[in-house]
A and B are shown apart, each in its own frame.
Chain A
Amino acid sequence: MQTILRLFLVKNAGDLARLGVILALAGLILFGALRYDNFLSPYNILSFLRYNSMFALIALGMAFVIMTGGIDLSVGGTAAMASVVAALLSPYHWAAGLVCGMAAGLAVGALNGFIITRMRIQPFIATLATMLAAYGTGLLLADNQSVSVSYDSGFTVIGQDDFLGFPIPAWIALAAYVLGWLVLEKLPIGRHILAIGDGEATAGLMGLKVERALAGVYLASGTLAGLAGVTLASQFGAGQPTEGVGWELFAIASVVVGGTLLSGGSGSIGATLAGALLLAMVFNILNFENGLGWISLSAYWQSVIRGSFLLVVVVLQAKLMARHRST
């Protein structure tokens, strides 16, 4: 058993969980491919990637936040608000929509960072407050309805067009993940983030600049949520102040399924991506199952099934990790 694990570069319990999520993802893909005719059709693959890229983006930001032992509940509200800002500014220039949408996210992230590091408020409380504030701001700006984007400035290209045969949002998400991986694995700040999650006081005593790093992760999480909002507006042609509800839970679930401990101090970028894809894949498969026409699952049932699946994966992981630890 140990030697087989070594083969997969499994060195510790965290790696094992990561291996688990990748295997589960591969299993689901295989299941879908065998059971449904068009599962691996280019249309399904491309629309799957296009739609789920925004979730992957917020999951990435969430991964960094959780690695420090924190949590960011504001990402859904931030994305909704950013989508409105982007839509409102899209008539001027496509880049205005993009940059200002991201800036809106960055502003929320900066506020989170400030409240958490300077005013010493628990991340859970701080981001709960900014989540409400962000939703409110979005609704105010949009006047309580969805805001249509401009189709003339080229803003919709971001969400709707392809590049080299793949959806642009997928490229954006891929770039963000490569960057995220570099930061975590190759730059000192990535190691510092993990050390902070391991113990904030200790990290401070070791001479790390804890506040700066913490502010940094919330800034990144906010900005990525802003980018997700831009993608949302561009893809669906409208800024949507009421979207984004529950996105933070999706992101947290992706991160956890990816083997990152909620207590902080460990985590992997690749496994977070796999976790996000895994959860999205369950959705996709449920849609196909409905399409077969034998059963018809309401959205509520889909939620129940997704929740159960999540539970099964997490329990399996915990079991595997406990076994690995005791050997």
Chain B
Amino acid sequence: MLLSMQGISKAFAGVPALKTASLDVEAAEVMALVGQNGAGKSTLIKILTGVYRRDEGSITFDGRDVDFSMPAMAQAAGIATIYQEINLAPQRSVAENIYLSREPKRFGMIDHGAMRRGAEAVLKTFNLTIDVDRPVAHFDAATRQMVAIARAVTQNARLVIMDEPTSSLDEREVAILFETIRTLKRSGVAVIFIGHRLDELYEICDRVTIMRDGQTVAKSPMADMPKMALVRHMLGKELAAFQAMAPEADAPMRPVRLELDKAGAGVRVRDVSLAVREGEISGLAGLLGSGRTETARLIFGADRMERGAIRMQGQDRSFREPADAIADGIGLVSEDRKIDGIVPDMSIRENMTLALLPKLKKAGIVDRARQDEIVTRYIRALGVKCASPDQPIKELSGGNQQKVLLARWLATDPRVLIVDEPTRGIDIGAKSEILKLLRNLADEGLSVLMISSELEELLAAADRVTVLSDGMSVATLPRKDLSETALLAAMAHQEAHQEE
């Protein structure tokens, strides 16, 4: 046994987060650690690596009792960790981030050349050729995640912990990551893999440990644990059917609310046309780098449009900055929720109503009663697991923080809501809740533009899907033509060529 954690308990300010949880990992195995948002997965990991101190329990690593009091000690003992909130120093270069705390040295001084070459070499094995001298902050979420992974796997650790490593990666990158994990395994390294996407877990993991409400409720070889059983253990009940809220196939066509006509800016968005109708969920699909997020930023006024037109209810608009778009009733929930958007020290209440404050004022001061009503409603609707609305948001689990941010925009009561990967990092129980909520809002008249990399999500929720490829809209599939094959084909841009 490489790692054994037994009877681990931990309470934050009297509220228990872990109750006699346990986790065992053998050398050269990949252990899945699963559970709903707030089940205690990240906390268990942070206790192992010395970020938090445990209240009770024992940990043995490599045959010895250990009690790390800071991450540096766990790292020195051979445990490399990718934390859920990507932990890199944003202003430092990619190369420095990979080697920080174990810089290659020559005559006692940092060997910048060796560091650069080493960084380039590892990233190359990830099919990533980037300027490693540039600050990490210059890169998108996926690249940052890959850098964090590169940092962890080059530490020559005995155990590599990955807390939701795939949440900002596309399929190709996930494949690269899995190849890396297999290589680690072959050299005897153990991996703890935390994730919410079941397919991925079944693909890469050997065993699974399931947590619920701070306790370990099941352990089993992955092969002996059917999906349904796994979900039941996780939720403590059966999963509500995912297909239930799929819209009717032949709903009547409603008026177009937002329209993008041959829009373009820079090289990432070349020629995108799409329409979002009143009261419908319009999907936006495409591979990573196809320009989905950039298109959203364009609509939202975060980037300036260079070509084409944008129309709201048939009228030409030009948004110079997000404030203009917001004034027109457009909201954007960005994909980088891990990094952007949250104000860590503020309470859930404040974070949730930040964008709403101007509307909540009565005679100049915040109408507390209405604020409470909204906050309570969304905490319930999205199942945010928290001690109270006044808890600082930084104390929530990663998935619950995301729910709060989603609620922030939902609560502004927009006419058009753009959601970029709305269910990323959210457990399967809450995932269908969120999709259901979007559907309900659409039924009440909201127009939703949903960007998603998960085809089943688009299939389940969208009324139509526009597919982007290489910065161009190559197809728009109405509900009746939607299927996984049709989407995949369009994403690979085959249909478009055939049509031409």
Contact = CB atoms under 8 A, between A and B. Distances in A.
Interface of A: 11-12, 182, 185-188, 191-192, 194-195, 198-199, 202-209, 265-266
A203 B89 contact: yes
Given A206-B89, A206-B100, 15 more contacts: A11-B134, A182-B109, A185-B110, A188-B101, A188-B110, A202-B87, A203-B89, A205-B81, A207-B71, A207-B74, A207-B75, A207-B101, A208-B72, A265-B91, A265-B92
Given A194-B91, A198-B92, A188 B70 contact: no
B135 interface: yes
Contacts of A203: 89
A293 to B, nearest CB: 49
Contacts of A198: 89-92
A204 B89 contact: no
Given A188-B103, A191-B100, A192-B101, A205 B91 contact: no
B110 A207 contact: no
B226 interface: no
B88 A202 contact: yes
12 contacts: A191-B110, A194-B91, A195-B92, A195-B100, A205-B51, A205-B71, A206-B89, A207-B75, A208-B100, A209-B72, A265-B91, A266-B91
Interface of B: 51, 70-72, 74-76, 81, 83, 87-92, 96, 100-101, 103, 105, 108-110, 133-135, 151
A207 B72 contact: yes
A188 B104 CA distance: 9
A285 B134 CA distance: 39
Nearest to B51: A205
A314 B83 CA distance: 37
A195 B89 contact: yes
Count chain B CB atoms within 10 A of each CB in A12, A204, A205 and give the residue with the most.
A205
Contacts of B70: 204, 209
A205 B91 CA distance: 16
A194 B90 CA distance: 10
A205 B89 CA distance: 11
Nearest to A264: B91
Nearest to B90: A198
Given A194-B89, A205-B87, A187 B109 contact: yes
A202 B100 CA distance: 12
Contact of A202 (B75, B89, B101): B89
Nearest to A211: B70
A191 B100 CA distance: 8
Contacts of B151: 206
Contact of B92 (A191, A204, A205, A209): A191
A199 B101 contact: no
B292 to A, nearest CB: 23
Given A12-B135, A188-B103, A206 B71 contact: yes
**Which of A185, A192, A207 counts the most B-chain CB atoms under 10 A from its CB?**
A207
A186 B107 CA distance: 10
Contacts of B103: 188, 191
B11 to A, nearest CB: 21
Nearest to B49: A205
A91 B76 CA distance: 50
A208 B91 contact: no
A203 B109 CA distance: 20
**What 9 pairs across the A-B complex have the smallest Cβ distances?**
A207-B75, A198-B89, A195-B89, A186-B109, A207-B72, A265-B91, A205-B87, A207-B101, A188-B103
A188 B105 CA distance: 9
A207 B71 CA distance: 5
Contact of B108 (A187, A205, A265, A266): A187
A222 to B, nearest CB: 25
Contacts of B87: 202, 205-206
A266 to B, nearest CB: 6
Contacts of A204: 51, 70-72
Contact of A205 (B83, B96, B109, B134): B83
Given A187-B108, A191-B110, A208 B101 contact: yes
Of B91, B108, B133, most A-chain CB atoms within 10 Å:
B91
A31 B57 CA distance: 71
Contact of A199 (B83, B89, B96, B108): B89
Given A11-B133, A194-B91, A266-B91, A206 B101 contact: yes
Contacts of A186: 109-110
A192 B92 CA distance: 10
A199 B91 CA distance: 10
B73 to A, nearest CB: 8
B78 to A, nearest CB: 12
A194 B110 CA distance: 15
A199 B74 CA distance: 20
Given A11-B133, A191-B100, A265 B89 contact: yes
A187 B110 contact: yes
